[in-house]
Each structure stands twice: as C-alpha cells, then as structure tokens.
C-alpha cells in the first residue's frame, strides 16, 4: 500500500501558539492553570496538557479566585472578558490572532453603520465568540438559503466576515448570493482569510487526484477537520475522519492501493504517525509526501510570557 501525506497538514500557527501558552503558563505560574473550553479541538492535546496540570472548564464560574485563566484559540465573547475583569482573574488570551483580526474587522464594519453578516456554523465556539464581540446588528448566515431569507431591504449597507475555518472556496457562493441580494456589500480582502485553512483544503484537493481513499486525522468536533473530509468526498474519494491509529477500520482501506493521509489544524503529527503504524499492521506501507506549500507563519506569545524561552516549534509533534 502507498500512503501519500498531504502537505501542509496538521498544526497551524494559531494552534501551536495556544498550546505553547498553556505549557509556558504551567512553567511560569505552576499547576493548576485553568483553560476555558478545549484549548484546541483535539482530545490528545487536551489530555496531554491535563496530565501536566491544566484544568479545562466551560465557564469562568468554575475557576477559583485568583487562578491563572487561559482563553482558548477560538476566542471568547466580550461578556466573558468582562466577567474575567470583574473577578480580577489573571488572563492569558490564546485567541488566534487571525480570529482577533476578524473581531476587529467586524467592529470596524459596525462602526461604519453597516449590518454585519457573519458566515459560519451556528454553535461553534469561534462563532459564539465573534457574535459576542459585536455590539450592533449582526446576523449569522450558514448557507445561501439563509441569505435569501434575510428580511432586509436591498439598499441596506452590508458587510460580511467569515469563520476562519471556512476557506475562500467555502464562502464563495454565499458571498455571491449577498452581492446579488444587496446593493452595497463590503468584505475583507481575500488576503485576510486564514492561510492554514486555505492551504490544508487545497492540499486535500491535490491529494484526492492521486488516491483511492482519504483519512483525515482530527476530532469529531473539529470544524476544519470535518471540512477536509467533506472536500475529499466532494472530489469523489471515500474519506474518513480518524481520531488516531486505534480507530482505523480495516474496511476503509481494504483494496486501496493508495491511501491519502492528512490532518486538521488541531491534530498533532504524532497522531499521523500513529495512523501510519496502524496501516503497517495491515501490510507493507510506502510513505511519500505530496509537494506543497511550506508554511513558516508564527505568532507572537502574550507579553506576560515573553520573559520565557519559547519551546522549539520545529519539534512540536504533540
């Protein structure tokens, strides 16, 4: 069996930064530190950080007085920030800078007097956070039918922002529908979209041309991993989401000569290796990597942690 690895795959710069923030906070302040929501959507990452002393909570009310508190990479609503300020909690914000950029862009559009359309998935923590950052007219739109159902006159000045785990390709049809429906539509330039989302999706499209089946390493609640799986399916290749090697189902790859393997932005490389090990248990495996974009994006750590030496990013696999 041939296994072709997508390039790029796995951890993005926002996820690496978020994990480093938890690790460095543990080093600087000692255990426990409290993390609101899963720092990134991956059980392996969460369990590893738990074993080092991180405690994961869904609400700030679960954080004891004075405890170091970390906001996850997905971002939080303003009311969460206000609650943390009111309780004087020492906060480290692991919100991905690209998510913060969407928040700031959205606020600028509202300040211009525009009705804001957020294109995203209802209930996703990033969407909840972005909706909760905006004081003003903001409407969540998930598909073209939602655009058709908008009860607004065509002359309403509109602006849109998008959930970061949606690529240009994902949102193209919705944006086109907005432009048909309204006379005055503003949106961010395409250079503002998340590079990692776009690159991983493009790599899966390339992979789909070469393989019989695609395995996407990622968690069920990882929006970007699910999207990678859907893209494989849309290209006509049977595609499966796989948490780690132990969840490989033999019938997925039975008869496949070439298996494509990728990983969502929150899935560590150690789990990709784990899936390869499970494939090797089924027979001989030859692994190659697709040529693709080499990413070298890094994000600065919060100022509170800048006195510590950063972990070696090149070696980060879990």
Q: What residue ranges bind ligand SF4 (CB under 6 A)?
A: 12-15, 73, 96, 98-99, 164-165, 194, 196-197, 224, 265
Task: Kindly list the strands in the beta sheet with 115-119, ordered across the sheet, starting from the edge strand earlier in the chain.
Answer: 138-141, 115-119, 158-162, 185-186
Task: Indicate the residue among 257 and 313 with the shorter CB distance to ligand SF4.
Answer: 313
Q: Give the strand pairing for 239-242 and 213-217.
A: parallel
The least CB distance from residue 64 to ligand SF4, in Å, is: 28
Task: Indicate the residue among 84 and 99 with the shorter CB distance to ligand SF4.
Answer: 99
Instruction: Please give the DSSP secondary-structure letter assigned to residue 156.
Output: S
The contacts of residue 284 (CB under 8 Å, 6+ apart) are 1
Q: What secondary structure, in 3-state letters, does 256-270 show?
A: CCEEEEEECCCCCHH
Task: Indicate the residue among 141 and 265 with the shorter CB distance to ligand SF4.
Answer: 265
The least CB distance from residue 240 to ligand SF4, in Å, is: 21
128 is catalytic: no
The least CB distance from residue 284 to ligand SF4, in Å, is: 35
The least CB distance from residue 167 to ligand SF4, in Å, is: 10
Q: What secondary structure, in 3-state letters, does 9-44 show?
A: CCCCHHHHHHHHHHHHHHHHHCCCEEEECCCCCCHH
Task: Indicate the residue among 29 and 195 with the shorter CB distance to ligand SF4.
Answer: 195
Spatial separation of the C-alpha atoms in residues 173 and 94, rounded to whole Å: 31
The least CB distance from residue 296 to ligand SF4, in Å, is: 13
Task: Indicate the residue among 123 and 236 with the shorter CB distance to ligand SF4.
Answer: 123
Spatial separation of the C-alpha atoms in residues 78 and 84, rounded to whole Å: 10
Active-site pick, 126, 230, 249, 294 = 126
Mark out the alpha helices in 134-283 (DSSP H runs).
144-148, 168-181, 195-208, 223-234, 250-253, 269-280
Q: Residue with the closest Cβ to ligand SF4?
A: 14
Catalytic residues: 126
């Amino acid at each position: 069996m041939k296994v072709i690895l997508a390039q790029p795959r796995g951890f993005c710069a926002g996820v690496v930064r978020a994990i480093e923030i938890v690790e460095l906070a543990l080093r600087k302040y000692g255990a426990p530190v409290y993390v609101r929501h899963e720092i990134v959507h991956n059980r392996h990452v969460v369990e590893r950080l738990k074993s080092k002393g991180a405690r994961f909570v869904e609400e700030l009310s679960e954080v004891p007085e004075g405890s170091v508190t970390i906001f996850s990479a997905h971002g939080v609503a303003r009311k969460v920030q206000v609650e943390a300020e009111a309780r004087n909690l020492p906060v480290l914000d692991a919100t991905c800078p690209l998510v913060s950029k969407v928040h700031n862009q959205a606020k600028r559009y509202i300040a211009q007097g525009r009705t804001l359309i957020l294109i995203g998935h209802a209930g996703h923590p990033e969407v909840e956070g972005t909706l909760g950052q905006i004081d003003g007219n903001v409407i969540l739109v998930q598909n073209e039918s939602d655009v058709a159902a908008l009860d607004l006159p065509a002359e309403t000045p509109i602006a849109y922002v998008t959930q970061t785990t949606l690529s240009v390709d994902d949102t193209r049809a919705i944006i086109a529908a907005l432009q048909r429906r309204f006379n005055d539509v503003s949106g961010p330039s395409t250079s503002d979209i998340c590079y990692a989302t776009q690159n991983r999706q493009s790599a899966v499209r390339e992979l789909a041309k070469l393989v019989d089946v695609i395995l996407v390493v990622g968690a069920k609640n990882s929006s970007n991993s699910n999207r990678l799986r859907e893209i494989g399916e849309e290209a006509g290749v049977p595609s499966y989401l796989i948490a780690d090697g132990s969840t490989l189902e033999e019938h997925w790859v039975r008869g496949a000569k070439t298996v494509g393997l990728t990983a969502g932005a929150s899935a560590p490389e150690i789990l990709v290796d784990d899936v390869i090990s499970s494939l090797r248990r089924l027979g001989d495996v030859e692994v190659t990597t697709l040529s693709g974009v080499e990413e070298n994006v890094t994000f600065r750590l919060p100022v509170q942690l800048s006195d510590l030496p950063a972990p070696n990013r090149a070696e980060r696999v879990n």
